[in-house]
Amino acid sequence: MDRKLNLNRAETFSFINPWIRYFLFFFSFLFWVFSLLIIAIGVYAKVQKATDTVRDTFLIDPAVILIVVGVVMFFITFCGCIGALRENIRLLKTFSLSLTLVFLTQLAIAVLGFFYSDQTRDALGKFVKKAIVHYRDDLDLQNLMDYIQKEFKCCGWNNYTDWSWNLYFNCTLENPSTERCAVPFSCCTPVPGEAVINTMCGFGVQTQNYLDATRTIYPVGCADKAVMWVESHLLLVGALALGMALPQIAGIVLSQILISQIQDEISSVM
């Protein structure tokens, strides 16, 4: 074929859609910056943390999880970003394949968590139990438990007597702690119009029956409240899942389109 004719054709016509190419580039770049942020937060949390009780509670340090997620995301989005910019098929294929793997892994976890909801609940219960046991040892765990109990208006995992798992709140007679049979202040229901907050409102609650406890604290355990929360926020949960899945699916589809367009372009000039 005439070389000059070929060149002219390449200048005016391309199989590669610039919108798809720059869309993929821009989105990968956005998540690439986001991954750097996640790594930075993870490293900061790791450096800040002096004690290891949080790591012992969650088996793996949450800061390490952040760093690993950030690094994986960094490499995937880097492939997408540079692959789209340089029209590099190998990078785009790596991007597409790793994104597919990540997506399928998340899907598998979600499906398993749904079908094995009892086991999921037990596993979560183990974490909360450890958080209750180490409540006084680590400020982060204390803040986490206080936040959960206040936000979900609940106390303990099964119910408020779970606080006996903690050395300070344990309700056995021999316990010398001043907080024996108490529950933390975060279990307390707010009293409307109360001028001075009664931080001792949880004292002795573990010895009370359900009805008496209802007057001062949230009597329902956080496990039941969490199930209720999910059931009443199904739309939000679905939207969140979709919000996570859509960018991944879009990335996989767009990179596949771009790959085939680049291949068309290559075979057209050969």
Ligand X SMILES: *[C@@H]1O[C@H](CO)[C@@H](O)[C@H](O)[C@H]1NC(C)=O
**Which residues bind to ligand X, rule: CB under 6 A?**
158-159, 161, 164-165, 170, 172, 210
Q: Quick one: 117 or 268, whose CB is closer to ligand X?
A: 117
Give the residue with the Cβ less far from ligand X, 227 or 236.
Answer: 227
Smaller CB distance to ligand X: residue 54 or 155? 155
State the CB neighbour count (10 A cutoff) for residue 206. 21
The distance of closest approach from Cβ of residue 231 to ligand X in the complex, given in angstroms and rounded to an integer, is 20
Alpha helices in the chain (DSSP H): 3-12, 18-48, 53-57, 62-86, 89-115, 117-133, 139-152, 210-214, 222-232, 234-269
Nearer to ligand X, 9 or 153 (CB): 153
Q: Interior CA angle at 160 toward 59 and 229, to 5°? A: 70
For residue 186, what are the contacts with CB-CB under 8 A and spacing of at least 6? 145, 146, 147, 149, 150
Residue type, 264: D
Q: Which two tokens stand for residue 126?
A: 């183990």
Answer for the pair 183, 135: CB distance below 8 angstroms, yes or no. no
Q: Which C-beta is closer to ligand X: that of 77 or that of 166?
A: 166
| Smallest distance from ligand X to CB 260, Å | 57
- The single-letter DSSP state of residue 220 is B
Nearest to ligand X of 115, 210 (CB atom) = 210
Provide, rounded to whole angstroms, the least separation between the CB of residue 161 and ligand X. Answer: 5
Minimum gap (Å) between residue 74 Cβ and ligand X: 43
Shortest distance (Å) from residue 158 CB to ligand X: 4
Q: Which of 221, 208, 250, 270 is nearest to 31 (CA)?
A: 250
In whole angstroms, how close is the CB of 240 to ligand X at the nearest point? 30
